[in-house]
Structure 1
Amino acid sequence: MRKAVSPESTRVPVAGFATYAEAERAVDSLSDQSFPVQHTTISGVGLRLVEDVLGRLTYLRAAGMGAASGLWFGLLFGVFLALFTADAVAWFAVILWALLWGVVAGAVFGLIWHALSAGRRDFVSTRQLLADRYEILVDRAHADQARQLLNNGRRGPA
């Protein structure tokens, strides 16, 4: 069972890193040294949401994005149905029909979804959650051991 970390947590910072990958490597290093990593948390500090606008969302683009999603759904559905066919020709026919119907249904749903938005969000974007830095937090009872293991790991081989 996973324990949620709350502000009242007894975990204390033992190390800080500029990137998530560095923090992840540090926890992996602790794990490699048989540290009980279930007492560890990687916490992003200074969080911000960054949304990059990629372009305008037109009806044509909404239909295209819907068709692309429908293509994948049609492929999945078609392969599933094709498992129950008797020969290769029927297998390909079922998959092609499912792809076609997936593209059509996806395009229609994309158009409807865009029309129902009533112009509230006429752009396409990507979002990412970024942190200024990452801290490794460890239960107070294990903090000294974690610090020592991390410091030994940073020195490298003698």
Structure 2
Amino acid sequence: MTQQLPSAVVDRPVVGSYANYAAAQRAVDFLSDNKFPVEHIAIIGSDLRMVETVLGRLTRGRAALAGLGTGAWFGLLIGLLLSVFAQGPHSVLVLILSGILYGAAFGAIAGFVGHALTGGRHDFSSRSQIVAARYDVVADTEVAEEAKNMLIKLDWREG
């Protein structure tokens, strides 16, 4: 089920349209720097698409290594929490190191087994992000003309 934006957001006039988010953000920053009431502004991304960037091949060894790192951090956290109740500096060190070692071991096993259970269906690591083809800066009707005029000045400056 897709969620609809409130018509109060969508029906506002476009005061600037940009090819990337950084440019739209720069426009809103310009308005803010010039004391424009930016609470009347929104940035709307249009024509969304999901881009998955493949980072590399994922083997069982790499999955185990990633699990080892995650497990070590989790073990450190558990070791630090348990060390609050320790009775001396030696036992604090033992608890922290034990937490790291056990966490790393369990994390490596979990990473290896988890990847093995996929049966080779997803043998690569990747990063997903949602990107828009266009970013529109919109404003409430009562301040739209002022915003548009200010953004024309920004275009003159950068153009």
TM-score by length of 1: 0.80
2:130 aligned counterpart, secondary structure: strand
Distance 1:82 1:49, change over 3 A: same
1:11 aligned counterpart, secondary structure: coil
Deviation for aligned residue 1:7: 5.9
Q: Distance in 2 between matches of 1:5 and 1:34?
A: 28
Q: Distance in 2 between matches of 1:145 and 1:15?
A: 12
Root-mean-square deviation (Å):
2.3
Deviation for aligned residue 1:155: 4.7
Deviation for aligned residue 1:17: 2.3
2:13 aligned counterpart, secondary structure: strand
Q: Distance in 2 between matches of 1:62 and 1:105?
A: 13
Identify the range of structure 1 (40-49 vs 106-115) with the bigger mean alpha-carbon deviation.
40-49
Q: Distance in 2 between matches of 1:81 and 1:36?
A: 50
Q: Distance in 1 between matches of 2:23 and 2:84?
A: 45
Unaligned runs of 5+ in 1: none
Identify the range of structure 1 (64-73 vs 145-154) with the bigger mean alpha-carbon deviation.
145-154
Give the corresponding residue for 1:134. 135
Q: Distance in 2 between matches of 1:20 and 1:42?
A: 8
Q: Percent identity?
A: 42
Q: How does 1:118-133 map to 2 (within 5 A)?
A: 118-133=119-134
Contact 1:23 1:42 in 2 (8 A): yes
TM-score by length of 2: 0.80
Residues 50-77 of structure 1, C-alpha deviations (whole Å, 9 max, x = no match): 2222222222111111111111111222
Deviation for aligned residue 1:153: 4.3
Unaligned runs of 5+ in 2: none
Q: How does 1:24-43 map to 2 (within 5 A)?
A: 24-43=25-44
Deviation for aligned residue 1:14: 0.6
Distance 1:39 1:68, change over 3 A: same
Identify the range of structure 1 (40-49 vs 103-112) with the bigger mean alpha-carbon deviation.
40-49
Q: Distance in 2 between matches of 1:7 and 1:123?
A: 41
2:138 aligned counterpart, secondary structure: strand
Q: How does 1:110-125 map to 2 (within 5 A)?
A: 110-125=111-126
